[in-house]
Amino acid sequence: MSNKPETKLTRRTFVAGSAGVAATLAIGPALAAGKTLNVLSHKVHQTVLGSGDGDLMAGWCKANDAEIAFTTFDSNPLQDRLFREASLKETEYGVGYLIDNRPTSQIAALFEPLDAYQKQDAIEDFGDIAPGLVQGMTVDGKLIGIPVRHATQGLFYNEALLEEAGISAPPTTLEELIEQAKKTTFTSKAGTPVTGMVLASDLAVFPVMFARAYGGDFIGPDLKLVPNREALEQGLAALRGMFEAGSLPRSYATTKNDDQVTWLQQGRAAFTVLPFARGAQLNNAEQSKFPGKIKAVPFPGAKAIQGKMPMASVVEAWAMSIPKNAKDKALAWSFIKEVSSKRVTLGMALNGNGPVRVSTYADEKLKAGNALAAVEAKVLSTARGAFPPFPEAARAQATFLEEVQLAVLGRKPVKDAVSAIIERVKPMMPA
C-alpha cells in the first residue's frame, strides 16, 4: 500500500477506490444522510466491514440516519495523522483506529476516556473481549480504546518435514521445540537443505517469546525492565544454542519477516513464529509446496513454567478511539458499540479480521473456514503486547535487538548482552 490516503464516503451506497476528490464529487442531495461520521483508519478496517449487500454497518447507518466516511492510510502515517488531528482545537474525525503500542501517557491524554461511556451504555458482553487486548488499551488506569483487531503469534510447523525427521507430534515444551528444530536441520528427501527454525532478527517479538517461555520478559506490563534476568538469559542462551547448532539460519542477522513465510512455503524451514492469520497464506496451493501440511500450535513454555504460569504469546492489536476534540462523541460511541458487537465481530472475522472476542472462535461458520480457530482462541486468552507503550519505546526496542543479535551470533556473552540491555535501556524508561 502507498501512503496516499483513501476515502470511502458512503458505506451503503458508494464505494470509492482511493480518491477523496471522486468521493467529494459523488456527494449529492439524494445520497445525503442526516449525519456523517468521519473515521480515520487503515484500509483493512474498512474492508472487513463489508460493502454492498454484505455491509455489516448498513443497519446502524439506517437506524442513525448516518453515513460513515473512511479516510485510510498505512499504519505509521495513520498514527501520525491521528495524533495530529487529536492535537487540534477541534477535529472532524469522530473515531480513530489506534495501535496498542503507541499510546504513551501524553498521547493517551488526547483521547476520550471510555470507562464512563462503558458504564452508561455498555458494549455487549465486554468481558468476552480478550483481557490482554483491553489491558493494552488501558493507560494510566483509563480505557482509551476498544480492541477491534489483533495479530497473535503462534508456532507454525511443516508436518511433512517433521514426519520425515521421525517426529510424530509437534512440541509441547520449549525444550522439545529446540530438540525438534535440531532434528529437522537436515536435507529433505526432495534435496532441499532444511533449517529447523527461521526467525527474523529485526523484530522484538521472537526474543520476547523466548524470554517469556522461561517466565521472563524484556519489559513487563508494569514497565519493569527485565523483570526476571535469569529468564531473559535463558531465552537468549536458547536462541544462541540453536544458532550454533545450525537450527537457525546462517543468514539470521539479515533474515526478515517475509523470509519466514517463503522459507516455510518452500520447505526450507520446519518451524517459524507468525500470526495465526498467516495460516491461509502458508497453505495457499498456488504459493506453497506443502498446502495443508503447514499447521500451528501455541508457542510452548519451558518445563519450568508449565502448570505455574501461562505462556503469554505476543499480540499486536488495533483499537477504536474517540479524540477528545471530536464533535459528536455520542455518535462515535454508538459506532464503536456496533462494531464491537458479537454480530459484527463475527462478520468481520468471516471477512478475514482477527476477532477480539474469544467466543467468536467457537462459531461453526468461522471454524469451518479456519482450522486454527480453536488454538488461536486458546492463545489469545493469555496473550499480551511485546512491551507496553512509553515515549522511548522504539529506541528501546532497537537497542534491545542490537544486543540480542550480538548474543545470538556469539559476538558477546549472553550475560554481558543482558547487562548491556539493562544498562542501555534503563535511561530510556519512564521515571
Domains, the chain, in order of start with CATH, read: 6-151+315-380 (3.40.190.10), 154-313+389-428 (3.40.190.10)
- pLDDT digit string (tens) for 77-112? 999 999 999 999 999 999 999 998 888 889 999 999
Burial (CB < 10 A; 0-12, 13-18, 19+), residue 215, is buried
- pLDDT digit string (tens) for 240-289? 999 999 999 999 999 988 899 999 999 999 999 999 988 888 998 999 99
3-class secondary structure, 153 = strand
Alpha-carbon distance of 122 to 350, in angstroms, equals 25
Alpha-carbon distance of 282 to 298, in angstroms, equals 17
Angle (CA) 244-249-254 rounded to 5° is: 115
Each residue's pLDDT, cut to its tens digit, for the chain (431 residues) gives: 444 454 443 433 333 333 343 333 333 344 567 899 999 999 989 999 999 999 999 999 999 999 999 999 988 899 999 999 999 999 999 999 999 888 888 999 999 999 999 999 999 999 999 988 998 899 889 999 999 999 899 999 999 999 999 999 999 999 999 999 999 999 999 999 999 999 999 889 999 999 999 999 999 988 999 999 999 999 999 999 999 999 999 999 999 888 999 999 999 999 999 999 888 889 989 999 999 999 999 999 999 999 999 999 999 899 999 999 999 999 999 999 999 999 999 999 988 889 999 899 999 999 888 889 889 989 988 998 898 888 888 899 999 999 999 999 999 999 999 999 999 999 999 87
CA neighbours within 13 Å on the CB side: how many for 118?
18
CB 199 within 8 A of CB 193: no
DSSP label at 123?
A: P
- Return all residues near 392 (Cβ < 8 A) that are at least 6 apart: 428, 429
